[in-house]
Chains A and B, each alone.
Chain A
Amino acid sequence: MMTIKDLPLEDYFTSGHTACPGCGPAILAKVIMKVFGKNTVIYTPANCLLVFGGTYPYLAWKVPYHHVAFENTAVCIAGIRRALKRMGRDDVHVIGIAGDGGTADIGIQALSGAAERNEDVIYIMYDNEAYMNTGIQRSSSTPYGAWTTTTPVGKVRAGKTEFKKDVPRIMIAHNVPYVATACISFPNDLLAKLEKAKRIRGFRYLQILAPCPTGWRFPPEKTIEVGRLAVETGMWTLYEYENGVMRINHKPKMIPVEEYLKLQGRFRHLSEEDVKRIQDYVKRKWESDLALCRAYGGCE
Chain B
Amino acid sequence: MMRVVTGNYAAAYAAMRARAEVVAAYPITPQTFIVEHIAEFINNGEMDAEYMAVESEHSAMSAIISAEATGVRTFTATSSQGLALMHEMLFIPPALRLPIVMAVVNRTVAAPIGIWCEYNDAMPQRDTGWMMVFVENNQEVFDMIIQAYKIAENSDVLLPMMVCLDAFILSHTVEPVSLEEQEAVDEFLPKYKPHVYLLPEDPMAVGTFTPPEYIQEVRYQEDVAMRNARRVIARVDEEFGEKFGRKYHGLVEKYMVDDADVVLITLGTVTSTAREIVHKLRDKGKKVGLVKLRFMRPFPEQELREIAENVKAIGVYDRSVSFGSGGPAYIEVRNALYGFDIPVINFLAGIGGRDVMAPDINLMFEKLYMAADGAEKKNIIWIGTRGVEP
Interface size class of A (residues with CB under 8 A): 35 or more
Task: For residue A241, give the distance in angstroms from its CB to the closest CB of chain B.
Answer: 22
The answer to whether the Cβ of B143 comes within 8 Å of any Cβ in the partner chain is no
Contact A69 B59, CB 8 Å, known A55-B210, A59-B208: no
Residue interface mask A63-82, B partner, CB < 8 A = 1: 11111110110011111101
Interface pick from B196-204, B234-242, B249-257: B196-204
- In the complex, A48→B134 CA distance in Å? 41
B67 touches A83 (CB 8 A): yes
Interface size class of B (residues with CB under 8 A): 35 or more
B209: which of A40, A41, A56, A68 is its contact (CB, 8 Å)?
A56
Task: For residue A109, give the distance in angstroms from its CB to the closest CB of chain B.
Answer: 6
The answer to whether the Cβ of A250 comes within 8 Å of any Cβ in the partner chain is no
Task: For residue A48, give the distance in angstroms from its CB to the closest CB of chain B.
Answer: 11
A65 touches B206 (CB 8 A): yes
- In the complex, A235→B197 CA distance in Å? 42
CB within 8 Å of B: which A113-130 residues: 113, 116-117
A68 touches B211 (CB 8 A): no
The answer to whether the Cβ of A54 comes within 8 Å of any Cβ in the partner chain is yes
Residue interface mask B225-253, A partner, CB < 8 A = 1: 00000000000000000000000000000
Contact A69 B92, CB 8 Å, known A55-B209, A92-B200: yes
The answer to whether the Cβ of B50 comes within 8 Å of any Cβ in the partner chain is yes
Chain B positions within 8 Å of A61 at CB level: 203, 205
The answer to whether the Cβ of A249 comes within 8 Å of any Cβ in the partner chain is no
B208 touches A110 (CB 8 A): no
The answer to whether the Cβ of A157 comes within 8 Å of any Cβ in the partner chain is no
A interface SS class: mixed
Number of A-B contacts (CB under 8 A): 145
- In the complex, A75→B59 CA distance in Å? 6
Task: For residue B60, give the distance in angstroms from its CB to the closest CB of chain A.
Answer: 8
CB within 8 Å of A: which B13-69 residues: 21-22, 24, 49-50, 52-56, 58-59, 62-69
- In the complex, A54→B205 CA distance in Å? 10
B205 touches A65 (CB 8 A): yes
The answer to whether the Cβ of A62 comes within 8 Å of any Cβ in the partner chain is yes
- In the complex, A113→B198 CA distance in Å? 23
A113 touches B59 (CB 8 A): yes
Residue interface mask B174-206, A partner, CB < 8 A = 1: 000000000000000000000001111001111
Chain B residues proximal to chain A, CB less than 8 Å:
21-22, 24, 49-50, 52-56, 58-59, 62-72, 88-89, 92, 197-200, 203-211, 214
User: Can you spell out 21 A-B residue pairs with CB atoms less than 8 angstroms apart?
Assistant: A54-B209, A57-B214, A64-B200, A68-B62, A68-B65, A68-B66, A72-B62, A72-B89, A75-B66, A77-B66, A78-B63, A79-B22, A79-B67, A79-B69, A83-B66, A86-B50, A92-B199, A92-B200, A109-B56, A110-B59, A117-B53
